[in-house]
Amino acid sequence: MRKTMTAAAAVLALCVGFSATSAAFAADEPAKADAAKDKGGDKDKIDFPPFPADASVKQVIHIAGKTVNYTATVGSLPVRDEKGKKIAEVVFTAYTVDGPRDPARPVTFAFNGGPGAASVYLNMGAIGPKRIQFGAQGDSASDPVRLIDNAGTWLDFTDLVFIDPVGTGYSRSLVDQEETKKHFFQVKEDVAYLSRIVFDWLVKNGRMASPKYVVGESYGGYRAPAIAHYLQSELGVGPSGVVMVSPFLDARTQAFEDISPLPYIVALPSMAAANYERQGKPLNGQTLAEVEHYARTDFAVDLLAGRKDPAAVDRVVDHVTRYTGLDPALVQHMGGRVDTGTFLRELYRKEGKLASVYDSNVTTWDPYPWSQQQRAGDPILDAIIAPTTSAMVDFTTRTVGWKVEGRYNALSNAVNQAWEKNWFTQVESVSDLRQAVAADPKMKVLIVHGYDDLSCPFFASQLIVDQMPQMGDPGRVKISIYPGGHMFYSRPDSQSAFRRDVMNLYGAR
């Protein structure tokens, strides 16, 4: 989540944690590298106060007519290099149900995205046992931080482990800036060490024989199938299922917009969904069937025709104007090729407001209404960092009693900026998804989206899955779409539908 961003950069932000230019510095900004000059000194040593021992607290939740007693634990796991040197410490928050150990009880590992986001968004917004409200119209950065029982939690049918990658939350690198980038801020290395964290948590907690699931949101939705495949093929751990929440599966679907029609094709149904919702129409597959069919067929053909067929441009302009509700003159001026940034900038310009890339019907006042380009932050991002940070820090340090020193990074711009060069046009985990599904005929996959999300549009996932070969039961890879945006779970009805679909995946209904 970035303070100021282009539409493409916004995708990285949630599509939601990064830390200072070095993750080490981000984890605790006042701490400095100890460039020891005396004998035996290590010039690359990072002099942090040690993390406290893992801490736990007993809690209770009432969910689906049941009382669930559980233990919340905050702690850390080391990351070691090939020589065994500890180079980072990764913080996790785990919720495990109390009582006799049930060998059939699943454990689920959760990751957010960014790159640069801590796992607080899935934890305290979507699936953890406690939640705070964020991500919807009217939510504010100064809203009271009150954790309440989460009616959408998964805790009654699976234990939950939320993992904060290096540079996010309290997780920190213990090596210098260049080593941090090499080990943690690259696409492949990120998947490798996070997979090892999953493995190490399972061993430490005696859960290697439990059914295992991986869930990721946004860029975490990219991570989820990649981690599942890495666990399968490299670490000897077989996940039973993968859940991708508003996933960023293949960056190429939103790249090369000067020559590729794909960025326009994948965005149009979400633009139409936002327009229909503003008109009070229900959002469902039937409502959007026409625009989805158009996007797959005539829209793609006419976009590729380009200037060689002026009639094709006219047809595109007519359809895009009707579906988006934008000013016909603007659509005509752009030849029907309306990018996400322009759509969001123009949608509420006359009202002096800005729309969020994560849900274009969530708005805030524009402090620079006469500027050609958006100069303020995203309405949703600006409103959620404060409550999520405050809630997680209070929960960790006061409720659980893990008395850590250092800054908590719910979302780090610096991690995002330090990430592997040109990753946005290269990253894809569709190959991992295909291979993981092929390797395990029993593994199930659920991909979920909100209709209004323009950072990770649902139609991209639909097109991607439709190109996958059918490997056994076609229901093994399912897509569900709900009213709302990137964080559709901020809407109670959508969160309830999401929970039902996940319970079906886990066989918990």
Q: What is the CATH number of the domain that holds 128?
A: 3.40.50.1820
Cis peptide before 379 (omega within 30 of 0): no
- On the question of pLDDT at 244 being above 90, the answer is yes
Q: Residue 487 falls within a domain, yes or no?
A: yes
Going by pLDDT thresholds of 50, 70 and 90, the confidence category of residue 415 is: very high
Q: Dump pLDDT digits (tens) for 489-503.
A: 999 999 999 999 999
Q: Residue 288 falls within a domain, yes or no?
A: yes
More confidently predicted of 468 and 45: 468
Same structural domain, 353 and 222 = no
HEC secondary structure over 458-498: HHHHHHHHHCCCCCCCHHHEEEEEECCCCCHHHCHHHHHHH
Query: What confidence score (pLDDT) does residue 192 get?
Result: 96
Write the CB contacts of 419 (distance below 8 Å, at least 6 apart in sequence): 12, 18, 115, 116, 185, 186
Same structural domain, 258 and 320 = yes
Q: Dump pLDDT digits (tens) for 167-184.
A: 999 999 999 999 999 999
- On the question of pLDDT at 283 being above 90, the answer is no
The one-letter code for the residue type at 221 is G
The C-alpha atoms of residue 67 and residue 45 are separated, in whole angstroms, by 48
Query: What confidence score (pLDDT) does residue 45 get?
Result: 57
Q: Residue 461 falls within a domain, yes or no?
A: yes
Tally of CB atoms within 10 A around 456: 32
Same structural domain, 59 and 151 = yes
Q: Dump pLDDT digits (tens) for 434-468.
A: 999 999 999 999 999 999 999 999 999 999 999 99
Query: What confidence score (pLDDT) does residue 252 get?
Result: 82
Pick the last residue of a domain from 322, 343, 372.
372
For 10-42, b where at least 16 C-beta lie within 10 A, e where not — what string? bbbbbbbbbbbbbbbbbbbeebebeeeeeeeee
What pTM does this model have? 0.90
Share of the chain above pLDDT 90, in %: 67
* Residue 104 burial by Cβ neighbours in a 10 Å radius (0-12, 13-18, 19+): exposed
Going by pLDDT thresholds of 50, 70 and 90, the confidence category of residue 44 is: low
Q: Dump pLDDT digits (tens) for 65-89.
A: 899 999 999 999 999 999 999 999 9
Query: What confidence score (pLDDT) does residue 202 get?
Result: 98
Structure tokens at 358: 């994560």
Query: What confidence score (pLDDT) does residue 30 get?
Result: 33
More confidently predicted of 253 and 74: 74
CA separation, residue 237 to residues 30, 69, 199, 256, 357 (Å): 39, 28, 8, 37, 36
Same structural domain, 126 and 242 = yes
Q: Residue 25 falls within a domain, yes or no?
A: yes
CA separation, residue 316 to residues 262, 320, 445, 484 (Å): 14, 6, 35, 26
Same structural domain, 288 and 226 = no
As a whole number, mean pLDDT of residues 124-143 equals: 84
- On the question of pLDDT at 424 being above 80, the answer is no
Q: Residue 405 falls within a domain, yes or no?
A: yes
Going by pLDDT thresholds of 50, 70 and 90, the confidence category of residue 34 is: very low
Q: Which of 64-73, 256-265, 407-416, 417-426 has the lowest mean pLDDT?
A: 417-426
Same structural domain, 23 and 104 = yes
Pick the last residue of a domain from 316, 343, 372.
372
- On the question of pLDDT at 298 being above 60, the answer is yes
Domain that includes residue 178, residue range = 7-37+53-251+385-506
Same structural domain, 325 and 222 = no
CA separation, residue 472 to residues 14, 15, 422, 435, 476 (Å): 33, 30, 36, 14, 8
- On the question of pLDDT at 9 being above 60, the answer is no
Tally of CB atoms within 10 A around 375: 12
Pick the last residue of a domain from 372, 397, 424.
372
More confidently predicted of 495 and 419: 495
Q: Which of 28-37, 54-63, 198-207, 354-363 has the lowest mean pLDDT?
A: 28-37
Q: Residue 293 falls within a domain, yes or no?
A: yes
Q: Dump pLDDT digits (tens) for 319-328.
A: 999 999 999 9
Q: How many domains does the chain have?
A: 2
Query: What residues form DSSP beta bridges with 75?
Result: 92
Same structural domain, 343 and 393 = no
Query: Where would I find the beta strands (DSSP E) of 382-450?
Result: 444-450
- On the question of pLDDT at 50 being above 60, the answer is yes
As a whole number, mean pLDDT of residues 377-400 equals: 92
- On the question of pLDDT at 309 being above 50, the answer is yes
Same structural domain, 162 and 61 = yes
* Average pLDDT of the chain, as a whole number: 88
As a whole number, mean pLDDT of residues 16-32 equals: 36
Residue 186 φ then ψ, to 5°: -130, 150
HEC secondary structure over 80-149: ECCCCCEEEEEEEEEEEECCCCCCCCCEEEEECCCCCECCHHHHHHHHCCEECCCCCCCCCCCCCCCCEE
Q: Dump pLDDT digits (tens) for 216-242.
A: 999 999 999 999 999 999 999 999 999
- On the question of pLDDT at 49 being above 90, the answer is no
Same structural domain, 112 and 237 = yes
Same structural domain, 81 and 164 = yes
Residue 35 near residue 136, CB atoms below 8 Å: no
**Which helix (H) or strand (E) element contains residue 164?**
strand 159-164
Q: Residue 173 falls within a domain, yes or no?
A: yes
Same structural domain, 72 and 153 = yes
- On the question of pLDDT at 274 being above 90, the answer is yes
Q: Residue 2 falls within a domain, yes or no?
A: no
